[in-house]
Structure 1
Amino acid sequence: MSELFPHFQVIVVSGLHDSGPGHWQSRWQHLHPEFVRVRQDDFDQPDLAAWAARLDQQRRADPRPALLVAHSFGCLTAVHSIARNCDGVAGALLVAPADPDKFGVADRLPALPLDCPSILISSVNDPWMSAPHAALWARRWGSELVEEGRLGHINADSGLGDWAAGQQYLQRLAELAHNRLLAFSA
């Protein structure tokens, strides 16, 4: 995918029930075994603080800057983690975030831009978050918003396979993060 990825720790942050073998996150990990996945104690019981703490552990396990590749409740986990401490996070790809109101965690998420580049990808027919609500959260977080059309929850049921378009968004995020890191080191 990218010659930039060795410079980053790429962390897969899945949502409820983890991501099965047909999910694009799992397929990307198969394509890139160097990507690591955050393992939660219980993928069936979303707990924002506990899940973010586990992500924080994974972030500290590698000194390289992290690119977070999040889906659904994993997006909420990633944003919560970044808001508490952005050190070492180079960027976040936030795909089909779950609606924070459905989980009662909206008040625990930042309403200000994240301190790293982020791309939020939404679908107009996502049952877990409406397109207008996704646009609202993208504005709050300072994320570039990409509306991908009618892809449902952008998961295995969407039939995306290796999701080439998503890989291109991750490549763009890596480039943004790399350029930002270069600018800070200059």
Structure 2
Amino acid sequence: MTPPYVDPAWEPDPNGPPDDGVYGPVPHTRLPFRSILMASRTDPYTTFAQFERYAEAWGAELYDAGDAGHVETASGYGRRPAGERLIDRLRQPPE
């Protein structure tokens, strides 16, 4: 799954279903572990520039997935050999 952009001023609809914190503010601090952010250039929920800002803030490696739409299971993405290779890279010591 790829992170959506959530406007910091966004407030959940008080008459809508509870969001259970799912759509709360996106953290903008360095992650305490190695990470890779897979980013699509055609994600309808987040611009590639926003993905770049997330990766920089998190200290994550940015992986350009190209024209992939929103990368999630609900969009029909099943097993992804390229994604599995990215996970394998995380298992290796940093270069």
| Secondary structure class of the residue paired with 1:116 | coil
Q: Secondary structure at the match of 2:90?
A: helix
Specify the alignment match of 1:132 in structure 2. Answer: 49
Of 60, 71, 78, the match for 1:154: 71
Amino acid at match of 2:33: C
Measure the CA separation in 1 of the matches of 2:75 and 2:25.
26
In 2, Cα distance between equivalents of 1:157 and 1:112? 28
Q: Displacement of 1:158 after TM fit?
A: 5.0
Partner residue of 1:118?
35
Aligned AA (1:141): W
Match status 1:143 vs 2:90? no
Q: Point out the structure with the larger helix share.
A: 1
1:128 and 1:165 mapped to 2: Cα distance?
Answer: 22
- Kindly indicate whether residue 91 of structure 2 is the aligned counterpart of residue 174 of structure 1: yes
- Structure 1 counterpart SS, 2:62: strand
Q: Give aligned pairs, total.
A: 80
Instruction: Give the structure with the larger strand fraction.
Output: 1
Cα distance in 2 between the residues matched to 1:130 and 1:165 = 21
- Asked if structure 2 preserves the Cα contact closer than 8 Å seen for 1:151 and 1:158, the reply is no
Q: Secondary structure at the match of 1:148?
A: strand
2:6 is aligned, of 100, 116, 121, to 100
Distance 1:163 1:156 in 2: 10
Question: For 1:20-39, what aligned pairs fall within 5 Å after superposition?
Answer: none
Where structure 1 has 5 or more consecutive residues not aligned to the other structure, the ranges are 1-70, 72-95, 181-186
Greater RCO structure (CA 8 Å; 6+ sep):
2
Task: Quickly say closer, same or farther: Cα 1:157–1:151, change in 2 above 3 A.
Answer: farther
Q: Percent identity?
A: 31
